[in-house]
Amino acid sequence: MPWLQLRVAVTPQQAARLEQALEGFGALSVTLMDAADQPIFEPELGTTPLWQQSELLALFEAEADQHSLREQLKQLDNSLKPQFEHLPDQDWQRHCMDSFKPLKIGKKLWIVPSWHQPPEPGALNLLLDPGLAFGTGSHPTTALCLQYLEAAVLAGRRVLDFGCGSGILALAALLLGAREVIGTDIDPQALAATKDNAQRNGLNDERLKLYLPEQLPTEKVDVLIANILAAPLQQLAGQFAQFLPSSGKIALSGILAEQAEAVLDAYSQDFEMAAPLEQDGWILLYGTRK
Protein backbone atom coordinates (compact mmCIF):
# COMPACT_ATOMS: atom_id res chain seq x y z
CA MET A 1 0.00 0.00 0.00
CA PRO A 2 1.16 3.60 -0.57
CA TRP A 3 2.09 5.87 2.35
CA LEU A 4 2.06 9.52 3.38
CA GLN A 5 5.39 10.67 4.80
CA LEU A 6 5.88 13.73 6.99
CA ARG A 7 9.35 15.30 7.03
CA VAL A 8 10.27 18.09 9.46
CA ALA A 9 13.47 19.58 10.88
CA VAL A 10 13.67 19.44 14.69
CA THR A 11 16.02 20.25 17.54
CA PRO A 12 16.86 17.76 20.31
CA GLN A 13 14.55 19.73 22.59
CA GLN A 14 11.60 19.34 20.19
CA ALA A 15 12.19 15.73 19.22
CA ALA A 16 10.83 13.74 22.17
CA ARG A 17 7.66 15.81 22.54
CA LEU A 18 6.98 15.75 18.79
CA GLU A 19 7.60 12.02 18.51
CA GLN A 20 5.06 11.30 21.23
CA ALA A 21 2.53 13.70 19.70
CA LEU A 22 2.82 12.20 16.21
CA GLU A 23 2.14 8.73 17.55
CA GLY A 24 -1.02 10.19 19.07
CA PHE A 25 -1.90 11.71 15.68
CA GLY A 26 -1.83 8.25 14.10
CA ALA A 27 1.77 7.89 12.86
CA LEU A 28 2.64 4.28 12.06
CA SER A 29 6.35 4.93 12.60
CA VAL A 30 8.58 7.83 13.63
CA THR A 31 12.27 8.00 12.73
CA LEU A 32 14.94 10.55 13.68
CA MET A 33 17.88 11.10 11.31
CA ASP A 34 21.02 13.27 11.22
CA ALA A 35 20.36 16.39 9.12
CA ALA A 36 23.93 17.77 9.09
CA ASP A 37 26.31 14.80 8.97
CA GLN A 38 27.21 15.19 12.66
CA PRO A 39 28.72 11.94 14.02
CA ILE A 40 27.91 10.75 17.53
CA PHE A 41 30.40 8.17 18.75
CA GLU A 42 30.34 5.92 21.78
CA PRO A 43 27.62 7.59 23.90
CA GLU A 44 27.59 6.97 27.62
CA LEU A 45 25.64 3.95 28.77
CA GLY A 46 21.98 4.72 29.35
CA THR A 47 21.98 7.83 27.15
CA THR A 48 20.39 8.40 23.74
CA PRO A 49 22.02 11.57 22.37
CA LEU A 50 20.54 13.34 19.34
CA TRP A 51 22.13 15.42 16.64
CA GLN A 52 21.91 19.20 16.97
CA GLN A 53 20.19 19.28 13.57
CA SER A 54 17.83 16.36 13.22
CA GLU A 55 15.21 15.40 10.68
CA LEU A 56 12.09 13.62 11.79
CA LEU A 57 10.25 11.29 9.41
CA ALA A 58 6.76 10.06 10.27
CA LEU A 59 4.83 7.55 8.21
CA PHE A 60 1.03 7.65 7.92
CA GLU A 61 -1.55 5.77 5.91
CA ALA A 62 -1.98 7.34 2.47
CA GLU A 63 -5.46 8.71 3.20
CA ALA A 64 -4.36 10.65 6.31
CA ASP A 65 -5.57 14.26 6.32
CA GLN A 66 -2.59 16.54 5.61
CA HIS A 67 -4.51 19.71 6.50
CA SER A 68 -5.49 18.32 9.90
CA LEU A 69 -1.95 17.19 10.60
CA ARG A 70 -0.59 20.64 9.71
CA GLU A 71 -3.04 22.32 12.08
CA GLN A 72 -2.22 19.93 14.91
CA LEU A 73 1.51 20.51 14.44
CA LYS A 74 0.98 24.28 14.30
CA GLN A 75 -0.83 24.19 17.65
CA LEU A 76 1.94 22.04 19.10
CA ASP A 77 4.83 24.23 17.86
CA ASN A 78 4.29 27.10 15.44
CA SER A 79 7.98 27.09 14.40
CA LEU A 80 7.73 23.69 12.70
CA LYS A 81 7.76 23.61 8.89
CA PRO A 82 6.37 20.19 7.91
CA GLN A 83 6.62 18.80 4.40
CA PHE A 84 4.49 15.94 3.07
CA GLU A 85 5.11 13.48 0.27
CA HIS A 86 3.42 10.33 -0.98
CA LEU A 87 5.54 7.18 -1.10
CA PRO A 88 4.63 4.43 -3.55
CA ASP A 89 4.23 0.91 -2.33
CA GLN A 90 7.32 -1.24 -2.86
CA ASP A 91 9.08 -4.32 -1.59
CA TRP A 92 11.28 -2.69 1.06
CA GLN A 93 13.22 -5.88 1.71
CA ARG A 94 14.04 -6.09 -2.00
CA HIS A 95 14.95 -2.38 -1.99
CA CYS A 96 17.51 -2.97 0.80
CA MET A 97 18.87 -6.07 -0.91
CA ASP A 98 19.39 -4.18 -4.18
CA SER A 99 21.58 -1.60 -2.39
CA PHE A 100 24.12 -4.29 -1.36
CA LYS A 101 26.21 -5.15 -4.44
CA PRO A 102 29.19 -7.49 -4.99
CA LEU A 103 32.39 -5.79 -3.83
CA LYS A 104 35.95 -6.64 -4.80
CA ILE A 105 38.60 -6.29 -2.10
CA GLY A 106 42.23 -6.21 -3.19
CA LYS A 107 43.27 -8.53 -6.00
CA LYS A 108 41.43 -11.78 -5.33
CA LEU A 109 38.66 -11.48 -2.75
CA TRP A 110 35.01 -10.75 -3.57
CA ILE A 111 32.28 -10.06 -1.00
CA VAL A 112 29.11 -11.26 -2.73
CA PRO A 113 25.55 -10.86 -1.36
CA SER A 114 24.05 -14.32 -1.09
CA TRP A 115 21.29 -13.39 -3.58
CA HIS A 116 23.83 -12.39 -6.31
CA GLN A 117 25.90 -14.54 -8.65
CA PRO A 118 29.68 -14.09 -8.16
CA PRO A 119 31.07 -11.74 -10.86
CA GLU A 120 34.27 -13.85 -11.00
CA PRO A 121 33.36 -17.48 -10.24
CA GLY A 122 37.03 -18.47 -10.12
CA ALA A 123 37.99 -15.86 -7.51
CA LEU A 124 37.76 -16.17 -3.73
CA ASN A 125 34.06 -15.44 -3.28
CA LEU A 126 32.62 -14.89 0.19
CA LEU A 127 28.82 -15.23 0.01
CA LEU A 128 27.37 -12.98 2.69
CA ASP A 129 23.99 -12.23 4.22
CA PRO A 130 24.56 -9.80 7.10
CA GLY A 131 21.20 -10.50 8.72
CA LEU A 132 20.97 -8.35 11.86
CA ALA A 133 24.76 -8.15 12.34
CA PHE A 134 27.32 -5.53 11.31
CA GLY A 135 29.58 -6.09 8.32
CA THR A 136 29.02 -6.09 4.55
CA GLY A 137 32.44 -4.89 3.39
CA SER A 138 31.14 -1.53 2.18
CA HIS A 139 32.11 0.45 5.30
CA PRO A 140 35.72 1.74 5.26
CA THR A 141 36.58 0.02 8.54
CA THR A 142 35.56 -3.41 7.22
CA ALA A 143 37.22 -2.78 3.87
CA LEU A 144 40.50 -1.83 5.59
CA CYS A 145 40.42 -5.03 7.65
CA LEU A 146 39.74 -7.15 4.56
CA GLN A 147 42.64 -5.49 2.74
CA TYR A 148 44.89 -6.24 5.72
CA LEU A 149 43.84 -9.90 5.78
CA GLU A 150 44.38 -10.31 2.05
CA ALA A 151 47.91 -8.89 2.33
CA ALA A 152 48.78 -10.96 5.42
CA VAL A 153 50.24 -14.47 5.28
CA LEU A 154 47.49 -16.53 6.91
CA ALA A 155 48.33 -20.03 5.71
CA GLY A 156 48.63 -22.35 8.69
CA ARG A 157 47.89 -19.56 11.18
CA ARG A 158 45.34 -19.25 13.97
CA VAL A 159 43.21 -16.07 13.79
CA LEU A 160 40.96 -14.38 16.36
CA ASP A 161 38.20 -12.08 15.05
CA PHE A 162 37.16 -10.02 18.08
CA GLY A 163 33.70 -8.54 17.44
CA CYS A 164 32.90 -10.79 14.50
CA GLY A 165 29.50 -9.30 13.56
CA SER A 166 28.30 -10.96 10.34
CA GLY A 167 31.45 -13.11 10.28
CA ILE A 168 32.86 -11.34 7.24
CA LEU A 169 36.43 -11.10 8.59
CA ALA A 170 36.49 -14.54 10.19
CA LEU A 171 35.25 -16.24 7.02
CA ALA A 172 37.54 -14.17 4.79
CA ALA A 173 40.47 -15.36 6.92
CA LEU A 174 39.42 -18.98 6.34
CA LEU A 175 39.10 -18.43 2.60
CA LEU A 176 42.56 -16.85 2.61
CA GLY A 177 44.12 -19.97 4.14
CA ALA A 178 43.97 -19.64 7.95
CA ARG A 179 44.31 -22.97 9.74
CA GLU A 180 41.72 -22.05 12.38
CA VAL A 181 39.60 -18.97 13.11
CA ILE A 182 37.96 -18.04 16.39
CA GLY A 183 35.08 -15.57 16.26
CA THR A 184 33.64 -13.78 19.25
CA ASP A 185 30.96 -11.14 19.77
CA ILE A 186 28.90 -9.80 22.67
CA ASP A 187 25.74 -10.20 20.54
CA PRO A 188 24.42 -13.78 20.19
CA GLN A 189 22.72 -12.70 16.94
CA ALA A 190 26.16 -11.95 15.50
CA LEU A 191 27.34 -15.46 16.32
CA ALA A 192 24.21 -16.85 14.68
CA ALA A 193 24.82 -14.72 11.57
CA THR A 194 28.44 -15.87 11.41
CA LYS A 195 27.37 -19.51 11.67
CA ASP A 196 24.74 -19.06 8.93
CA ASN A 197 27.26 -17.38 6.62
CA ALA A 198 29.79 -20.14 7.31
CA GLN A 199 27.24 -22.75 6.23
CA ARG A 200 26.44 -20.64 3.16
CA ASN A 201 30.10 -20.84 2.15
CA GLY A 202 30.67 -24.46 3.08
CA LEU A 203 32.97 -23.37 5.92
CA ASN A 204 31.07 -24.77 8.89
CA ASP A 205 33.80 -27.19 9.88
CA GLU A 206 36.30 -27.71 12.67
CA ARG A 207 38.35 -24.71 11.55
CA LEU A 208 35.73 -22.18 12.81
CA LYS A 209 34.99 -21.77 16.54
CA LEU A 210 32.46 -19.23 17.88
CA TYR A 211 32.22 -17.94 21.45
CA LEU A 212 30.76 -15.21 23.59
CA PRO A 213 33.67 -13.13 25.01
CA GLU A 214 33.42 -14.64 28.50
CA GLN A 215 33.72 -18.13 26.99
CA LEU A 216 36.85 -17.48 24.93
CA PRO A 217 39.63 -20.06 25.37
CA THR A 218 42.97 -18.73 26.57
CA GLU A 219 45.20 -20.34 23.91
CA LYS A 220 47.45 -18.01 21.92
CA VAL A 221 46.60 -17.00 18.36
CA ASP A 222 48.90 -15.85 15.56
CA VAL A 223 46.73 -12.98 14.30
CA LEU A 224 44.13 -10.90 16.16
CA ILE A 225 41.82 -8.56 14.25
CA ALA A 226 39.23 -6.31 15.90
CA ASN A 227 36.89 -3.94 14.08
CA ILE A 228 34.96 -2.38 16.96
CA LEU A 229 35.33 1.16 18.44
CA ALA A 230 38.20 3.25 19.78
CA ALA A 231 37.22 3.26 23.48
CA PRO A 232 36.83 -0.52 23.86
CA LEU A 233 40.00 -1.04 21.82
CA GLN A 234 41.91 1.06 24.35
CA GLN A 235 40.38 -0.86 27.26
CA LEU A 236 41.20 -4.23 25.68
CA ALA A 237 44.88 -3.54 24.89
CA GLY A 238 46.20 -5.61 27.79
CA GLN A 239 43.85 -8.52 27.12
CA PHE A 240 44.72 -8.53 23.42
CA ALA A 241 48.44 -8.64 24.25
CA GLN A 242 47.85 -11.81 26.27
CA PHE A 243 46.28 -13.54 23.27
CA LEU A 244 49.40 -13.06 21.12
CA PRO A 245 52.88 -14.56 21.41
CA SER A 246 56.03 -12.69 20.51
CA SER A 247 55.85 -11.75 16.80
CA GLY A 248 52.05 -12.23 16.79
CA LYS A 249 50.15 -9.81 14.55
CA ILE A 250 47.37 -7.38 15.49
CA ALA A 251 45.04 -5.22 13.37
CA LEU A 252 42.59 -2.72 14.85
CA SER A 253 39.87 -0.69 13.15
CA GLY A 254 36.68 1.23 13.91
CA ILE A 255 38.92 4.22 14.69
CA LEU A 256 38.50 7.81 13.50
CA ALA A 257 41.61 9.72 12.46
CA GLU A 258 41.44 11.93 15.55
CA GLN A 259 41.22 8.86 17.81
CA ALA A 260 44.24 7.05 16.36
CA GLU A 261 46.89 8.61 18.62
CA ALA A 262 45.10 7.59 21.83
CA VAL A 263 44.67 4.00 20.59
CA LEU A 264 48.33 3.88 19.51
CA ASP A 265 49.39 5.01 22.99
CA ALA A 266 47.41 2.15 24.53
CA TYR A 267 49.22 -0.45 22.39
CA SER A 268 52.74 1.00 22.22
CA GLN A 269 53.96 -0.79 25.37
CA ASP A 270 53.34 -4.29 24.00
CA PHE A 271 53.38 -3.80 20.21
CA GLU A 272 55.58 -2.36 17.50
CA MET A 273 52.98 -0.47 15.50
CA ALA A 274 53.32 0.35 11.80
CA ALA A 275 52.19 3.51 10.01
CA PRO A 276 48.36 3.72 10.07
CA LEU A 277 46.24 2.98 7.01
CA GLU A 278 43.44 5.46 6.26
CA GLN A 279 40.25 5.42 4.20
CA ASP A 280 37.60 8.16 4.22
CA GLY A 281 38.64 9.41 7.65
CA TRP A 282 38.76 5.94 9.22
CA ILE A 283 41.98 4.32 10.41
CA LEU A 284 43.40 0.81 10.63
CA LEU A 285 46.28 0.34 13.08
CA TYR A 286 48.43 -2.78 12.85
CA GLY A 287 51.60 -4.09 14.35
CA THR A 288 53.60 -6.94 15.88
CA ARG A 289 53.74 -8.19 19.46
CA LYS A 290 57.07 -7.33 21.11
Calpha distance 45→40 (Å, rounded): 13
Which amino acid appears at position 105 of this protein? I
User: What's the first-to-final CA gap in the chain, in angstroms?
Assistant: 61
H helix intervals, the chain: 12-24, 66-76, 92-98, 140-151, 168-175, 188-200, 230-235, 237-243, 260-267
- Is 142 annotated among the ligand-binding residues? yes
Edge-to-edge order in the sheet of strand 109-113 = 103-105, 109-113, 124-128
Residue 183 counted as an annotated binding residue: no
Helices (H), 78-224: 92-98, 140-151, 168-175, 188-200
Consult the annotation and say whether 11 binds a ligand: no
Known binding residue 78? Answer is no
What CA–CA distance (Å, rounded) separates 219 from 95? 44
Q: Does an H or E element contain 181, and which?
A: strand 180-184
Q: Which H or E run contains 284?
A: strand 282-289
* Nearest-angstrom CA–CA distance, 251 and 243: 13
Q: Please state at what angle helix 66-76 crosses helix 12-24, rounded to 10 degrees.
A: 140
Report DSSP state, residue 236.
Answer: T
Residues annotated in a binding site = 142, 163, 185, 227
Instruction: Show binding-site residues for S-adenosyl-L-methionine.
Output: 142, 163, 185, 227
